[in-house]
Chain A
């Protein structure tokens, strides 16, 4: 489904150019559930932004379902992420003055094609994360776990084929973490391709594959070595 080859990304900083991704290669099949681990600042979020077409690499190729993403213009990229990709950002990223319902509706309201039953879709997505009773609440009235679940509902409301989740359990307790991982399991069963970024080995273990980001490249990580991290 996805192939990244020789992806390079660097940022200008005070001390010249800082290289984050240095010739990264990565492949992912349809319906896979992978976890990406790595120390803070190694470029996990950067990788997610590139996968999610929010950011262009300085070089390399990105193929998404046989389409050359690295050749696409901004308009096509916008379309691609609206239709195919669901985002769960590192820190919820809900719009504060919009209600839960309006936040979840966002991806649908930017759909190019006319869509029926938007309200029903939003409700279904919220029901899936167990928040159907909070339609009118504003983000500041929610707990961290609830916000994260709203963010997940928003990520799945447009029924994406690829779900990108950046630390979805980062600041949550065990019980909430478990409930969120169950949602991911269910999405996985429905055939959604999932890339989950996490620090937590227990969370990473839920995925089928674990990848390790280090030195600007990705390495396959064996299950057994996880404990040593």
Chain B
């Protein structure tokens, strides 16, 4: 069989039906574009979050409110537990953990929304809302933040409950009116415990989209100045370097010793506690110790300890589920568009009955006719796939050039999946019309009107 020739005939068949072809592959174009764009986004988010989580370091153990159901297989649906329960963790728990030998450092975290106000001489006070974070000096090590100026609070200041505060660069800039308002964080978001983890993640992802990275360099600084938080006066001792990243950016954070934060916000509970084991080898032991220590005050085990690696696994699992769903959506879209293509091809075979009769009379074998029409369908779908791919690629390139929240990732396997599935659709939807064409009886086909 002269496959190449048959292939050329298929090309010609497509070329002579340009308009109909264009219409029929529209579905494939959209389907492939959707899978490219959506997977690039989901992979981009995953990549960014993973990098941040990974940045915490493998020795990290997180103590979180809520009970995690460990299924023993390594994957944990702890994320359900994280946000569906109000926290009962307290600073006493943190102190309890601090006593452990297998633990190197403990970073209590209280995260809530707070308002900060600064009054410049002879001017109206400026007030902005930010993420009020009560923590300890080890915060810097856990989240790899660096200071643009000033310093972080000391253990002594923590112990003395000195009214000192370290500002995120965005907050700092806003207080000085150096740039437009930071996006308001809706306090309701914090108050609603029934929000699921992914809603919160989404809130954070979108809420942090404005970064102070492009704020003009200013000589002016608040270090040493006094600000008001929840009606109390604090001294600014440092400003953080800006972080133009997605998720846990510290740009709109207001950092203060955890005791102060508890007082100022009149709460008793921490959001979470980050614990660093003294070594990787001791990690499992440390987790057990931490668990036991917290359990002293929580006999009903309304908390969980999660190792950073487990967290990564869980995020991986979640994004994997997302990807499976994505593949499902794509498959559905492609099957629907495939049905359209099959319809067009069946019509095309009918319309070209005489052509098929002529070809068979002049020496085309059953197989050659079969492949001619099969190639035609495959080429159609592949063309749709390639157009969709180019559109998707254009979208990813545009996004990465214009949007800085997080970069999109377009790995090879997505491209292969997109093109592979278009070819598959071509084969699946092409077989029936091709067989219909191939088994036509030549004399009857020639008589066809």
A52: contacting residue among B12, B361, B441, CB under 8 A: B361
Q: Which of B155-163, B176-184, B362-370, B390-398 contacts A (4 or more CB under 8 A)?
A: B362-370
Q: State A81–B354 Cα separation when bound (angstroms).
A: 18
Given A78-B364, A110-B368, residue A93 in contact with residue B358 (CB < 8 A): yes
Query: Is B5 at the interface (CB under 8 A from chain A)?
Result: yes
| B-contact bits for A107-119, CB 8 A (1 contact / 0 none) | 1011100000000
Q: How far is the CB of B350 from chain A (nearest CB, A)?
A: 15
- List of A residues within 8 angstroms of B355 by Cβ: 95-96
Contacts of B98 in A (CB 8 A): none
Chain A residues near B144 (CB-CB < 8 A) = none
Complex interface residues of chain B between 333 and 375 (CB less than 8 A to chain A):
354-355, 357-366, 368
Contact code string A184-215 (vs B, CB < 8 Å = 1, else 0): 00000000000000000000000000000000
CB-CB contacts of B411-449 with A at 8 A, as 1s and 0s? 000000000000000000000000000000111001000
A28 at the interface (CB under 8 A from B): no
List A residues 47-94 near B (Cβ within 8 Å). Answer: 49, 52, 54-55, 74-75, 78-79, 81-82, 87, 89, 93-94
B446 touches A107 (CB 8 A): no
* Number of B interface residues in the complex (CB < 8 A): 22
Tell me whether B358 and A106 are in contact (CB under 8 A): yes
Least CB separation from B366: chain A residue: A74
Who on chain B is nearest to A102 by CB? Answer: B12
Identify B362's interface contact among A75, A96, A97, A107, CB under 8 A. Answer: A107
What's the dominant secondary structure at chain B's contact region?
helix
Q: Are B358 and A54 in contact (CB under 8 A)?
A: no
Distance from A212 Cβ to chain B, minimum over Cβ atoms (Å): 23
Q: Which residue of B lies closest to A154 (CB)?
A: B362
Q: Is B266 an interface residue (CB 8 A)?
A: no
Does A98 belong to the interface (CB within 8 Å)? yes
CB proximity of B268 to chain A, nearest CB, Å: 81
> Inside 8 A of A49's CB, which chain B residues have their CB?
443, 446
CA of A14 to CA of B27, assembled, Å: 43
Beta-carbon contact of B363 and A54 below 8 Å:
no
In the bound assembly, the distance between CA atoms of A89 and B443 in angstroms comes to: 11
- By a CB distance below 8 angstroms, the chain A residues around B446 are 49, 54, 89, 93
A93-B354, A97-B12, A97-B16 given as contacts; is B443 within 8 A of A107 (CB)?
A: no
- In the complex the two chains form, what is the Cα distance from A55 to B358 in whole Å? 13
Task: Return the contact of A87 from the options B9, B354, B361, B365 (Cβ within 8 A).
Answer: B361
B contact residues around A107 at 8 Å (CB): 362-363
Q: Are B359 and A110 in contact (CB under 8 A)?
A: yes
Q: List the A side residues contacting B361 at CB < 8 Å.
A: 52, 54, 81, 87, 89, 93
Point out the residues of chain A lying under 8 angstroms from B354, CB to CB.
Answer: 93
A8 to chain B, nearest CB (A): 16
Tell me, in angstroms, the Cα distance from A98 to B13 when the chains sit together: 9
Whole-angstrom distance from the CB of B358 to the nearest CB of chain A? 5
Q: Which residues of B contact A97 (CB under 8 A)?
A: 12, 16
B443 / chain A contacts, CB cutoff of 8 Å: 49, 54-55
**B residues at A contact (CB < 8 Å):** 2, 5, 9, 12, 16, 354-355, 357-366, 368, 441-443, 446
Extra 9 A-B pairs, beta carbons < 8 Å, given A55-B441, A110-B364: A54-B443, A75-B365, A81-B361, A81-B363, A93-B358, A93-B361, A94-B358, A95-B355, A110-B368
A-B pairs with beta carbons under 8 Å apart, 10 shown? A54-B360, A54-B442, A54-B446, A75-B365, A93-B361, A93-B446, A106-B358, A109-B2, A109-B5, A110-B365
Q: Which 6 A-B pairs have the closest CB atoms?
A: A82-B363, A110-B363, A97-B16, A55-B443, A54-B443, A49-B443
